């Protein structure tokens, strides 16, 4: 049964296609050097690690994209997103007034499971706090007809999705048809309208070069993306810090040229707090600390919360022994 979802959001505008935005000038060895330097500087321990771990919770799109997803396991996912920790566990490390803010940013599911997520989040009174993201447009390959891909977006939004994670047409990208990629994403932006934010998955592991990553980022932002996302999590190569740095440079240049702000979502392979802190350090050192909020930065992850929970519980136990 379709659900009417009349909520409207501030969404990015589609801008005119301009091939000059695709010009890039960066050195791959320099990209790798900078990313490596940031990674080495991101090590934290003790109470600082706990603080960063709790920050990471609020940036997670808790994800289940399995063939055996059912209403019950999606419901469990949503409950965990709402209540990742029992409140009494955090009483010594979090201000009481902030405890209500310790939850995931979103749950991410297939379109067919959106209604299940909507039902559970409504029961817990979290529809305004936790977004429902749906992967669409023939995830993860995008190898479907355009009409079918657009209909999938409409189906997910009508079911209650407030964010749509689309996959770009890598076939067009690989042959250099960037206007073709732009035209498709524009239609996807239109399908989302003002009822859902658009997150565009580049599938960086299948784009062939960093130059293509930069161009794909720019094309999606021109088309009206609210976020650019690294990967589906299904490719052989997913989120890496060098790729993230190139996407950040595209975000910075796009903001300089247009004034429009676009978020970043690394996904795939981010499994522990150490990985998450490296990404947060990258964002903090390039885009600024203010970017580390759910409106501008997300982790696409299914297993990250397990390690966050371990780090936080161990940290709280140390505090109790002190």
pLDDT digits (tens, 9 = 90+) for 150-179: 999 999 999 999 999 999 999 999 999 999
Q: Is 101 within a domain?
A: yes
Domain count, the chain: 1
**Contact status, residue 226 vs residue 199, Cβ threshold 8 Å:** yes
CA dist 136 and 296 (Å) reads 21
Dump pLDDT digits (tens) for 66-95: 999 999 999 999 999 999 999 888 887 788
Q: What is the DSSP letter of 89?
A: G
Return mean pLDDT, the chain: 94
Q: Which of 38-47, 152-161, 229-238 has the lowest mean pLDDT?
A: 38-47
Helix axes 46-57, 304-321, angle to 10 degrees: 140
Which pLDDT value is given to residue 79?
Answer: 97
pTM of the model: 0.95
pLDDT digits (tens, 9 = 90+) for 175-206: 999 999 999 999 999 999 999 999 999 999 99
Q: Rg of the chain over CA atoms, in angstroms?
A: 19
Domain assignment present for 12: no
Q: Tell whether 14 is covered by a domain.
A: no
Token readout for 39 is 């990674």
* Ordered DSSP codes for 177-223: -HHHHHHHHHHHHHHHTTTSEEEEE--GGGS-SHHHHHHHHHHHHHT
Q: Hey, how many other C-beta atoms are within 10 angstroms of the C-beta on 303?
A: 12
pLDDT of residue 1: 36
| pLDDT band per the 50, 70, 90 thresholds, residue 4 | very low
Percent of the chain beyond pLDDT 90? 84
Question: Which range of residues forms the domain containing residue 164?
Answer: 19-321
Q: What is the pLDDT of residue 96?
A: 82
pLDDT classification of 98: cutoffs 50, 70, 90: confident
Residue 11 lies in a domain: no
2 within a domain of the structure (yes/no): no
pLDDT band of residue 245 (cuts 50, 70, 90) is very high
**pLDDT for position 83:** 95
What backbone torsions phi and psi does residue 164 show, to the nearest 5 degrees? -120, 120
Q: Is residue 75 part of a domain?
A: yes
For 49, 84, 231, 271, 312, the CA distances from 56, given in Å and listed in that order, are: 10, 12, 19, 12, 11
**Which residues are catalytically annotated?**
229, 265
pLDDT at 6: 56
Q: If residue 170 lies in a helix (H) or strand (E), which one and from where to where?
A: helix 170-174
Q: Give the containing element (helix H, strand E) for 107.
A: strand 106-109
Judge whether 10 lies within some domain: no
> Looking at residue 97, which CATH number applies to its domain?
3.20.20.70
- Give the span between the Cα atoms of 301 and 210, in whole angstroms: 23
* Residue 186 within a domain: yes
């Amino acid at each position: 049964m379709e659900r009417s979802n009349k909520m409207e959001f501030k969404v990015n505008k589609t801008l005119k296609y301009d091939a000059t935005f695709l010009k890039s000038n960066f050195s791959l060895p320099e990209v790798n050097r900078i990313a490596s330097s940031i990674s080495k500087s991101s090590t934290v321990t003790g109470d600082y690690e706990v603080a960063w771990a709790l920050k990471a919770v609020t940036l997670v799109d808790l994800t289940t994209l399995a063939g055996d997803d059912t209403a019950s396991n999606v419901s469990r996912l949503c409950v965990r997103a709402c209540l990742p920790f029992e409140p009494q566990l955090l009483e010594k490390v979090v201000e009481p007034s902030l405890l209500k803010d310790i939850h995931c940013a979103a749950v991410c599911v297939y379109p067919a499971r959106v209604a299940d997520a909507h039902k559970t989040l409504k029961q817990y009174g979290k529809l305004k706090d936790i977004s429902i993201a749906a992967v669409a447009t023939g995830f993860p390959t995008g190898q479907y007809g355009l009409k079918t891909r657009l209909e999938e977006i409409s189906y997910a939004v009508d079911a209650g999705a407030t964010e749509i994670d689309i996959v770009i047409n890598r076939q067009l990208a690989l042959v250099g048809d960037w206007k073709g990629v732009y035209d498709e994403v524009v239609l996807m932006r239109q399908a989302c309208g003002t009822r859902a934010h658009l997150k565009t998955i580049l599938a960086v592991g299948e784009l062939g070069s960093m130059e293509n990553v930069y161009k794909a980022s720019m094309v999606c932002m021109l088309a009206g993306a609210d976020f650019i996302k690294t990967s589906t999590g299904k490719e052989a190569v997913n989120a890496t810090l060098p790729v993230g740095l190139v996407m950040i440079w595209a975000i910075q240049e796009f903001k300089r040229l247009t004034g429009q702000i676009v978020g970043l979502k690394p996904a795939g392979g981010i499994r522990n707090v150490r990985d998450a802190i490296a990404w947060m350090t990258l964002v903090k050192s390039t885009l600024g600390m203010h970017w580390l909020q759910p409106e501008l930065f997300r982790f696409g992850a299914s297993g990250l919360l397990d390690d966050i929970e371990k780090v936080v519980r161990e940290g709280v136990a140390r505090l109790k022994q002190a």
